[in-house]
């Protein structure tokens, strides 16, 4: 119960901050994503090269350039920023002589680009689409947590994440899909995005498993200790990492096709 209380309290605060910045958009939302990205980059380096403060500084400073370009007073989200993220990844890998740290720039930078791309959609659509992409991950986590605790049952991959069950996965998918359908009814979310939501909910769980695997390999329980009841920033945003880019592609695909 103490763990649940901590998770609930810090979760409410995090969601409130994220929702406020999302609603404001512009500089506030960009700043939120930048802070989260730099914190995640630090945790990524700590998982792969613990105790190497120089690597953390190189990785964070290298990521600052593409993150700055993504800002509302610069070029904003687009293919130019995508190229800079790739460039930062190569630079980090070469300077640190560690390709895994270079991959961290991709892991952190692409979701930021995707979220800002969603939020920059015209009119109220930007707010709705970014909210959908972020909140479906929250709904998946909540549904999976309570379904897993209530139903239990067989584990998905106990060697990677001992607490994750098939019942939790199904509960998370149902919760996310129900949430997306509610957005369709009450806010006009395109129905085709509702239909893609179950896949995105599964991707959120895949992101969770991937980060759990990284922590297992590093021999740590959490990616950090910044967030009470949640661990590090990566622990809280691991599901959003694969969801945000795919959500942005699904939103932009009709325009790209024509």
**What tens digit of pLDDT does each residue of 196-225 get?**
999 999 999 999 999 999 999 999 988 987
pLDDT over 80 at 3, yes or no: no
pLDDT of 14 reads 87
DSSP state of 159: T
Query: Mind listing the pLDDT tens digit for each residue in 152-163?
Result: 889 999 889 888
- CB atoms under 10 Å from CB of 89, counted, come to 25
Model pTM? 0.94
Q: Give the end-to-end CA distance of the chain in Å, rounded to a whole number.
A: 52
Q: How far is CA 201 from CA 5, 37, 244, in A?
A: 24, 22, 11
pLDDT over 80 at 8, yes or no: no
Quick check: helix, strand or coil at residue 52?
A: coil
Spatial CA neighbour of 4 closest among 146, 207, 204, 153: 146
Domain limits of the chain? 2-257
d(CA 105, CA 88): 7
pLDDT of 50 reads 87
d(CA 248, CA 240): 12
Chain position carrying tokens 């001992």: 162
d(CA 201, CA 197): 6
């Amino acid at each position: 119960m103490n763990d649940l209380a901590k998770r609930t309290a810090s979760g409410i605060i995090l969601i409130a901050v994220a929702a406020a910045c999302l609603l404001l958009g512009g500089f506030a939302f960009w700043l939120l994503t930048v802070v989260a990205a730099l914190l995640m980059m630090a945790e990524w380096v700590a998982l792969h090269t613990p105790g190497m403060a120089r690597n953390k500084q190189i990785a964070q400073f290298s990521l600052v350039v593409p993150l700055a370009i993504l800002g509302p007073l610069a070029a904003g989200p687009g293919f130019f920023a995508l190229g800079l993220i790739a460039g930062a990844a190569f630079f980090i890998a070469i300077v640190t002589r560690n390709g895994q740290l270079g991959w961290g720039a991709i892991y952190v930078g692409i979701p930021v680009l995707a979220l800002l791309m969603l939020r920059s959609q015209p009119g109220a659509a930007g707010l709705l689409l970014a909210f959908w992409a972020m909140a479906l991950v929250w709904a998946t986590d909540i549904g999976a947590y309570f379904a897993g605790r209530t139903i239990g049952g067989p584990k998905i991959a106990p060697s990677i994440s001992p607490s994750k069950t098939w019942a939790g996965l199904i509960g998370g998918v149902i919760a996310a899909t129900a949430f997306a359908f509610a957005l369709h009814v009450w806010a006009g979310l395109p129905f085709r995005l509702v239909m893609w939501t179950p896949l995105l909910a599964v991707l959120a769980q895949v992101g969770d498993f991937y980060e759990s695997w990284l922590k297992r390999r590093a021999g740590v329980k959490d990616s950090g200790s910044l967030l009470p009841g949640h661990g590090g920033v990566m622990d809280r945003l691991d599901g959003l990492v694969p969801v945000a880019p795919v959500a942005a592609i699904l939103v932009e695909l009709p325009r790209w096709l024509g």
